[in-house]
Amino acid sequence: METNAHFARKDILGLEDLSAEEILTVLDVARSFREVSEREVKKVPTLRGQTVINLFYEPSTRTRTSFELAAKRLSADVVNFTVSESSAVKGETLIDTARNIESMHSDIIVVRHPVSGAPQLLARAVKSSVINAGDGAHEHPSQGLLDLFTIKEHKGKFEGIKVLIVGDISHSRVARSDIYGMTKLGIEVTVCGPPTFIPVEIGKMGVRVTCDFDEALAETDVIMMLRIQKERQHGGLYPSVKEYARFFGLNRDRLSRAKSDVLIMHPGPVNRGVEISPEIADCTQSLILEQVSNGVAVRMALLYLLSRGAYGKAAH
């Protein structure tokens, strides 16, 4: 597939919307930006004069910090908007908040919101570019892209790679973005979890479904572990944390049944001892911290592509 396609999108709202060529374009640009973070002086003037707003209606450590670092390393001005200290607590709507921010001449708004579809609504209401940093249980496109970037760096390809996504699939926006992106690039995806954690019609997304973690491990190249999304559940979906860890937790014994070169990933935050044991989270096959590092390069690429409106210009 060619990766020099014109990238003319105003917004990044989900991987469901992006073509395989557009995804590869983002990954190619991210590769060129990764070197910036390895320099002694971690900054280039690419977005000098641009303003990036981080508008987060939900708590975040990795994503918000990553977008902030990405923007600053591109020399953009960054404003972190804390909802608990804003007019939103007085009843101001998302649209009114965003329009007020835009009137101060913002260029890109990065938004995380607990309601699915909020970034799409916002993108239609403002002229600024909008990046979805996670909306409800819908999508988390930048996480999906950094997961793809990490896999490519280690496996060298996408076609034919087998990924097993384990955990709370129903409530995971990461799982949806991963599935959209992976299947478009030729990755074979299997989802695994308790039946109560598996969406009824997820097979229509082109994935295999299983509730047997041990059986699914044998031919897997990459294991993507997910946490239980307690904040999006209404209870009664699994007997106990101990029971869940027994059947769907990744531990030393279970990992011994997988391929010797299997890779372990997790979007974070990690609940050690639940979906993954501490020694496995920190083992040499774990790419969890590398995912975080790669996230900065991927988000630099997104900010760059949206600010320039086209792929092919000098990245730095």
Task: Please give, one letter per residue, the 3-state secondary structure of 91-133.
Answer: CCCHHHHHHHHHCCCCCEEEEEECCCCHHHHHHHHCCCEEEEE
Mean pLDDT of the chain: 91
Q: CA torsion sign, 160 to 197 to 288 to 275? A: negative
Decide if 129 contacts 10 (C-beta within 8 A): yes
Q: Return d(Cα 96, Cα 109) in angstroms, integer.
A: 14
Predicted confidence band of residue 291 (pLDDT cuts 50, 70, 90) = very high
Q: Return d(Cα 3, Cα 183) in angstroms, integer.
A: 17
What's the CATH number for 141-288? Answer: 3.40.50.1370
- Establish whether domains 20-139+293-311 and 141-288 are of one fold: yes
* Annotated domain spans of the chain: 20-139+293-311, 141-288
In the chain, which ranges are E strands? 51-56, 77-82, 108-113, 129-135, 162-166, 188-192, 208-210, 222-225, 263-265
How many other CB atoms sit within 10 Å of the CB of residue 150? 22
Phi, psi (deg, nearest 5) at residue 130: -120, 130
Decide if 261 contacts 222 (C-beta within 8 A): no
Per the listing, tokens 């988000």 go with 299
Query: CB within 8 A of 314, min separation 6: which ones?
Result: none
Predicted confidence band of residue 311 (pLDDT cuts 50, 70, 90) = very low
Closest C-alpha to 219, from 160, 162, 165, 280: 162
- pLDDT of 9-59, one tens digit each? 999 999 999 999 999 999 999 999 999 999 999 999 999 999 999 999 998
What letter does residue 272 receive in the DSSP assignment? Answer: B
- pLDDT of 165-212, one tens digit each? 999 999 999 999 999 999 999 999 999 999 999 999 999 999 999 999
Q: What is the pLDDT of residue 254?
A: 96
Query: CB within 8 A of 39, min separation 6: which ones?
Result: none
Q: Return d(Cα 126, Cα 109) in angstroms, integer.
A: 9
Whether the per-residue pLDDT at 251 is higher than 60: the answer is yes
Q: Return d(Cα 164, Cα 289) in angstroms, integer.
A: 19
Q: Return d(Cα 3, Cα 144) in angstroms, integer.
A: 18
Token output for 300: 């630099």
Decide if 158 contacts 148 (C-beta within 8 A): yes
205 compared with 87, residue with greater pLDDT: 205
Q: What is the mean pLDDT of residues 64-92?
A: 87
Q: If DSSP codes are grouped into helix, strand and coil, which group holds residue 259?
A: coil
What percent of the chain shows pLDDT beyond 70?
91
Whether the per-residue pLDDT at 316 is higher than 60: the answer is no
Q: What is the pLDDT of residue 83?
A: 74
| Consecutive H or E run containing 67 | helix 62-73
Q: Return d(Cα 40, Cα 142) in angstroms, integer.
A: 26
Length of the chain: 316
Closest C-alpha to 110, from 49, 57, 61, 73: 57
Q: Which residues is 191 bridged to in the sheet?
A: 165, 209
What's the CATH number for 20-139+293-311? Answer: 3.40.50.1370
Q: Return d(Cα 177, Cα 241) in angstroms, integer.
A: 26
> pTM score, two decimals?
0.93
